[in-house]
Amino acid sequence: MSLHSGLLTDLYELTMAAGYVQTGFEARATFELIVRNLPARRNYLVAAGLEQALEFLEGVTFGSDEIEFLKKHSAFGGVGREFFEYLAGFRFTGDVWAMPEGTVFFPGEPVLRVTAPIAEAQIVETYLLATINFQAMIASKAARVVTAAQGRPVIEFGTRRAHGMESGVLAARAAFIGGCEGTSNVEAGRRFGISTYGTQAHSWIMAHEDEEEAFRKFLEIFPDHSVLLVDTYDVRAAVEKILSLGRKPRGVRLDSGDLAADSRWVRKRLDEAGWKDVLVFASGDLDEDRIASLLEQGAEIGGFGVGTSLATSNDAPALGVIYKLVELERGGQIHSAAKFSEAKVTYPGRKQVLRCTGADGKYSEDVIALEEEKLAGAEALLVPVMRGGKRLGQAAELNVARERCLENVARLPEGVKSLTGMAGYPVRHSVRLEELMKQVRSRVERVARI
C-alpha cells in the first residue's frame, strides 16, 4: 500500500475526473474547505491537519497496480485509455492557501483553498476533508480541555479508544496542537517529536503477589519517572505503602473513585510527609466538564490524563466540513460559483479571512472578504503554502502551531473562550463579497429556470 495512493479517495472523484478528462473539459477550479456550523458546545474551532494534507498533495500518484485495479472496475468500463494515461502521469500541480495550524477559526471561513486543474482538485478532495475534519475537530476539543485545566498539564491518553491506531497517532498530534503537554502514544512521540508519558496499569499491580512489591520493583527500575497507580485496591492503603518504602516516586495516579476527595486526602498526606513535589495525577473518563467540576470542588490534582474525549471528540465526533467550488477559470473567463439550496448556502469567489483586534488586544471581529481586499490593522489568516504542487518553505514546527493555538485562544473574547456559554464571535462578509454573491445568485437563478 502506498501512503500517497490516488485510490485514497471516493469513487465519484475518480469518475468525475474521468469525465473531465474524456470530455476535454479544461478548467482551473478553486475549491474552499469550510466548516458549515459549529457543533454543539463549541464557540470556536482550531485549524489542524495541514501538514498531513500537504504531504499527501506532494506525494499523491497512481501506481500501475492501482491503475490496473481501476481498469478492471465496472464503473470505468466505457472509459477510454486517455484517462488511464492521465492517471499514470498524475501529480498534483495546484496552488494552496491555508490557515497555519493552531489558528482559531469559525464556520464559513475557508481554512484551506485549492486552485488546480479541476480533475486534480477533485481527486484530492476526500483526503483533504478527512484529514482537516479530523485533526481540527480533535484540536478544537483539546483547546477546551486545556482551558478547563487552568494551566495544569493535560496528557492525551486516548489511543485505545481512537478510531484505529493511525487515528490514535494523529489524534495525539492534533491534541498537542490544541495545547496538550504530551501523549501516551509512543509512535506519535517518534514521528512528531511530542513528549510521551506513561504511568503503570492495574495489570502491573495485579500480576504481583502484593501491591507494595509491585510499587517497590517499579521504583527500582524507574527511580526518577515512576507515577504509581494507587486505586487498584484501596487508595489510602496504597499511599501508605508507598510512603513506607521511603523512596519518592515522580507521582501517583488516581484512576477511579471520588477524584476530588481522594486527591485532597492524598495531597495532604504527601505534603505532611514532606513529599510536596510528588505529583497527584488523575485519569478516568475525564473531559472538560469533569475537569472543571473537579477543580471547582477543590480537587488537588497537578495533571490530567484524558483519553476517549480527546481521541474521539466524543460529544462532537465529526465536523460539518465541506469542500466547495467557488470559482472556475475556463477559456480565459472567470466564473464565480456558489450554492443556494436551503440551509446550504456557500459564497462564491476566492476569499481571504481578515481578523481584527480591539484596543484591549483581544480579537474583535473577522471579515470574510475577497482575496485581494485589505483592512487596515487586520491580519490576513490565509497564507500561501503550496505553489505548482511544491510546498513553500519548510514544514512548520509543531511547537509553533501549539503556541499559536494557546495565544489565539488567549486572545478570544472571554465569552467565546468560555466552556459553558454559547457566545458567538462576530464574523461578517465584506460588502464586495456580498455584491458578488448577489450577482452569482441572479445568474444561477436564470440558469435554473432554463
Among 55, 93, 198, 375, binds a copy of itself (CB under 8 A): 198
CA distance linking residue 122 with residue 323, whole number of Å? 9
β-bridge pairing 321-330 and 333-336? antiparallel
**Distance in Å, CB of 303 to a copy of itself, minimum:** 15
C-alpha to C-alpha distances, 168 to 158, 196, 271, 407, nearest whole angstrom: 7, 13, 36, 26
CA distance linking residue 82 with residue 28, whole number of Å? 19
Question: Of 105-113, 291-299, 304-312, 366-374, which segment contacts a copy of itself by CB under 8 A?
Answer: 304-312
Q: Considering beta carbons, is residue 100 or 257 the nearer one to a copy of itself? A: 257
CA distance linking residue 283 with residue 156, whole number of Å? 10
Q: What are residue 31's DSSP bridge partners? A: 114, 325
Q: Considering beta carbons, is residue 43 or 183 the nearer one to a copy of itself? A: 183
CA distance linking residue 157 with residue 305, whole number of Å? 6
Question: Of 231-239, 365-373, 410-418, 425-433, which segment contacts a copy of itself by CB under 8 A?
Answer: 231-239
Question: Of 164-172, 270-278, 294-302, 430-438, which segment contacts a copy of itself by CB under 8 A?
Answer: 164-172
Does residue 209 belong to the site contacting a copy of itself (CB under 8 A)? yes
CA distance linking residue 318 with residue 136, whole number of Å? 10
CA distance linking residue 416 with residue 211, whole number of Å? 47
Binding footprint of a copy of itself, residue count (CB under 8 A): 112
DSSP string, 116-142: EEHHHHHHTHHHHHHHHHHHHHHHHHH
Q: Scanning residues 308 to 337, which ones bind a copy of itself (CB under 8 A)?
A: 308, 311-314, 317-319, 321, 324-325, 328, 337
Q: Considering beta carbons, is residue 324 or 417 the nearer one to a copy of itself? A: 324
Among 26, 64, 201, 388, binds a copy of itself (CB under 8 A): 201
Q: Scanning residues 78 to 137, which ones bind a copy of itself (CB under 8 A)?
A: 78-79, 118, 122, 125-127, 129-131, 133-135
Q: Scanning residues 235 to 274, which ones bind a copy of itself (CB under 8 A)?
A: 237, 256-257
Q: Considering beta carbons, is residue 339 or 362 the nearer one to a copy of itself? A: 339
**Distance in Å, CB of 224 to a copy of itself, minimum:** 7
Does residue 410 belong to the site contacting a copy of itself (CB under 8 A)? no
Q: Considering beta carbons, is residue 176 or 425 the nearer one to a copy of itself? A: 176
Question: Residue holding cell 481584527?
Answer: 356
Question: Of 71-79, 104-112, 288-296, 391-399, which segment contacts a copy of itself by CB under 8 A?
Answer: 71-79
Q: Considering beta carbons, is residue 73 or 428 the nearer one to a copy of itself? A: 73
Question: Residue holding cell 510527609?
Answer: 273
Q: Scanning residues 359 to 398, which ones bind a copy of itself (CB under 8 A)?
A: none
Q: Considering beta carbons, is residue 56 or 105 the nearer one to a copy of itself? A: 56
3-class DSSP state for residue 147? helix
Among 44, 215, 218, 347, binds a copy of itself (CB under 8 A): 218
Q: Considering beta carbons, is residue 206 or 395 the nearer one to a copy of itself? A: 206
Q: Give, to the nearest 10 degrees, the angle between helix 11-22 and helix 81-88.
A: 110
CA distance linking residue 1 with residue 17, whole number of Å? 22
Does residue 61 belong to the site contacting a copy of itself (CB under 8 A)? no
Q: Considering beta carbons, is residue 149 or 171 the nearer one to a copy of itself? A: 171
CA distance linking residue 37 with residue 29, whole number of Å? 24
**Distance in Å, CB of 259 to a copy of itself, minimum:** 13
CA dihedral angle for residue 287, residue 291, residue 292, residue 295, rounded to 10 degrees: 180
DSSP string, 377-424: TPEE--EEEEETTEESSPPPPHHHHHHHHHHHHHTS-HHHH-SS--PP
Determine which helix (DSSP H) or strand (DSSP E) holds 329, and give its type and residue range.
Answer: strand 321-330
Q: Scanning residues 37 to 56, which ones bind a copy of itself (CB under 8 A)?
A: 52
**Distance in Å, CB of 143 to a copy of itself, minimum:** 18
